[in-house]
């Protein structure tokens, strides 16, 4: 079984972290948002967390791009959602599109975009990844955001 990296050290950085989360599959996405927010409060208490909710997973990338282009660009953006695969290819198409869009935004704006729009087979997998303690993707997204904020800050400090 793969394991996530160790939790990063707390940071005293100031700024904003945005969470863009789907309203679809609310039981699971709400848990992702709650876990990510709690982890950010613990690891980065001086950061402001802005939560923006969108109707579904497909709408996440356009809001992520808008935030990346905003005058007050966040230090990181977490994209949170749950797509449960059905009997057609629709879920796979949506997931591929989201992945490509989020990566393009992060690279083009040199901004950490943490992709935790989960594509799962069923509600049991969603529950394990959003409601459990061992494999909680909300917590992992927040930890990745804090780690990447520090990485990006270290790159800026070496340019001086």
What's the residue count for the chain? 160
* 8 Å CB contact between 10 and 44: yes
Edge-to-edge strand list for the sheet holding 15-22: 47-54, 15-22, 76-84, 113-120
Catalytic site includes residue 90: yes
Q: Which of 66, 90, 97, 121 is catalytic?
A: 90
Sign for the pseudo-dihedral over CA of 77, 138, 50, 156:
negative
Selection from 23, 15, 25, 34 nearest residue 141 by Cα: 34
Q: Which residues contact 28 (CB under 8 A, 6 or more apart)?
A: 82, 118, 126, 127, 129, 130, 131
φ, ψ of residue 113 to 5 degrees: the values are -115, 110
Indicate which residues carry an active-site annotation: 90
């Amino acid at each position: 079984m793969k394991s996530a990296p160790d939790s990063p050290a707390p940071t005293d950085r100031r700024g904003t972290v945005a969470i863009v989360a789907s309203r679809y599959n609310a039981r699971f996405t709400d848990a992702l948002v709650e876990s990510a927010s709690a982890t950010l409060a613990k690891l980065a208490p001086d950061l402001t967390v802005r939560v923006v909710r969108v109707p579904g997973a497909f709408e996440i990338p356009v809001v992520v791009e808008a935030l990346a282009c905003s005058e007050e660009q966040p230090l990181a953006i977490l994209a949170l959602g749950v797509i449960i695969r059905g009997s057609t290819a629709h879920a796979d198409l949506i997931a591929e599109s989201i992945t490509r869009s989020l990566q393009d935004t992060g690279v083009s704006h040199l901004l950490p975009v943490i992709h935790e729009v989960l594509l799962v087979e069923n509600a049991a997998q969603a529950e394990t990844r959003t409601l459990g303690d061992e494999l909680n993707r909300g917590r992992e997204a927040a930890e990745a955001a804090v780690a990447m904020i520090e990485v990006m800050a270290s790159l800026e400090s070496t340019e001086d």
